[in-house]
Structure 1
Amino acid sequence: MKRLLLLGLSTTFIMMGCSDTNDTTDTTDSTDSNTEMNVAEDETVQDEMTEIDEVDEMVEMDHDGELPTDLKKAEDPAFPEGSNAIITAKHMPGMEGAEATIAGAFDTTVYEVSYTPTTGGERVIDHRWVIQEDLAEGTDIAEAGDEVILDVEHIEGMQGATAIVEEAYTGTIYAVDYTSTTDGEKVTDHMWVTEDELEALEE
């Protein structure tokens, strides 16, 4: 009887041990799964917030207006004034994919810049584009890494801001007219897009 009792108790303990091990494994797997789901959800939320921030910044931009009169017209642009092209840039909502009419093609030095707005707020990174004529009067042609003073108001707080040149090249820059693909609004003399941000119409 004692042997049978001891055998029964041993069997019970073994079964309880197995049961505990299985429960722990299931809990761990469940925790790992929940952690992965939470990480994925956090990344999705972060991506959505980044897109919202980008849209908010674009909405505040004002790249259209009267073209400067002191710009040198391009002699042989890939997209002549009056021709049409598809915009591939996303400077403004409703811009990408819109059919544009070239309002002007000019030869100058073009800059991508980063700066802190004079009105305060977060630093603007890699703003595209400003041109040589958008810099403070008397500024020499700049190179990547140079510090310049902006003399244009594409975004509130840009005028008079000190900027770092992230990229610079000399070539053709375009002003374009187009109709927004999102709200149908007509945009006139949007400044600026580069040749790489335009595509020829399909024939």
Structure 2
Amino acid sequence: MKKPKKSIILTVSLGTAIMLAACGNGDDETDPEMDMDTGSEDSMDDMEDDDTGDMDMEDHGMNDMDMDDDMHEGHDMSSSGEVPEDLEEAESPTFEVGSQALITDAHMPEMEDVEATIVGAYDTTVYTVSYTPTTGGDRVEDHEWVVHEELEDVGEEPLEPGEEATLNASHMEGMEGATAEIDSAEETTVYMIDFTSTDGEEVENHKWVTESELSPVE
């Protein structure tokens, strides 16, 4: 009678071992699938992150272009050629009137690397200014350029950055009569020029370019 009891116990033990082994194999088979699913989700997240990064860079580039367009919107590149009465002609400019020069450091994209004819050269203090147009709209920041003689009632002494003055210039719509803050000031020679822009526009008597924006034509 003792031997059958041992057989029953052995049979139960084997059955238990087989069930445990089966459960173990089931877990092993399930885990890789879970890992694969998790990996796929992580990969999708990474791809979405990469796409978002690309879009951010593209948007940033477009915003920069929009800012450039807004900055120069309403800019009248040509002028009548009239200059303030008290603006002194340069006695010995680097680029003489009638000579050619290359615009190598342009303050507007359509002026970059084009050849210009010098039609006027003047010694003065030149400023970059920020102002709110009298016609409304967004504030214009760091406009290039305004000469000292285009500021109203400021005397002969150059202004310092941070000072304010009323503009008596019409380079851009809404500029004349606006209150401007001086952003930078430099004593130099400024030039009035004729040129053909990169988009084919014939520009006459453009005011102003500074000496540092020009290079000799080779």
TM superposition score normalised by structure 1? 0.90
Q: How does 1:52-131 map to 2 (within 5 A)?
A: 52-65=66-79, 66-68=81-83, 70=85, 71-92=87-108, 94-131=110-147
Matched, 1:3 2:30: no
The structure where helix makes up a greater share of residues is 2
Identify the residue that residue 145 of structure 1 maps to in structure 2: 162
Does the 8 A contact of 1:63 with 1:192 survive in 2? no
Of the candidates 164, 168, 171, which is equivalent to residue 154 of structure 1?
171
What amino acid is the match of 1:30?
Answer: M
Matched, 1:197 2:213: yes
**How far apart are the structure 2 equivalents of 1:123 and 1:56?**
10
Does the 8 A contact of 1:116 with 1:123 survive in 2? yes
Identify the residue that residue 60 of structure 2 maps to in structure 1: 46
What amino acid is the match of 2:27?
Answer: F
Of the candidates 31, 46, 53, which is equivalent to residue 32 of structure 1?
46
**How far apart are the structure 2 equivalents of 1:138 and 1:145?**
14
Which consecutive unaligned segments of at least 5 residues does structure 1 have? Answer: none
Give the number of equivalent residue pairs.
201
Matched, 1:175 2:189: no
Does the 8 A contact of 2:154 with 2:165 survive in 1? no
Which consecutive unaligned segments of at least 5 residues does structure 2 have? Answer: 1-14
**How far apart are the structure 2 equivalents of 1:145 and 1:138?**
14
Superposed CA deviations along residues 144-175 of structure 1, whole A, max 9, x for unmatched, are 11112111121112112121111101111111
Runs of 4 or more above 6 Å deviation: none
What amino acid is the match of 1:149?
Answer: T
Superposed CA deviations along residues 55-93 of structure 1, whole A, max 9, x for unmatched, are 344252014212315220111111111110111244445
Counterpart secondary structure, 1:55: helix
Counterpart secondary structure, 2:111: coil
What amino acid is the match of 1:159?
Answer: E
State which structure, 1 or 2, has the greater radius of gyration over its C-alpha atoms: 2
Matched, 1:19 2:65: no
**How far apart are the structure 1 equivalents of 2:144 and 2:169?**
13
Deviation for aligned residue 1:20: 1.2
**How far apart are the structure 2 equivalents of 1:57 and 1:112?**
13
Counterpart secondary structure, 1:14: helix
Counterpart secondary structure, 1:164: strand
Q: State, as a whole percentage, how many aligned pairs show the same letter.
A: 39
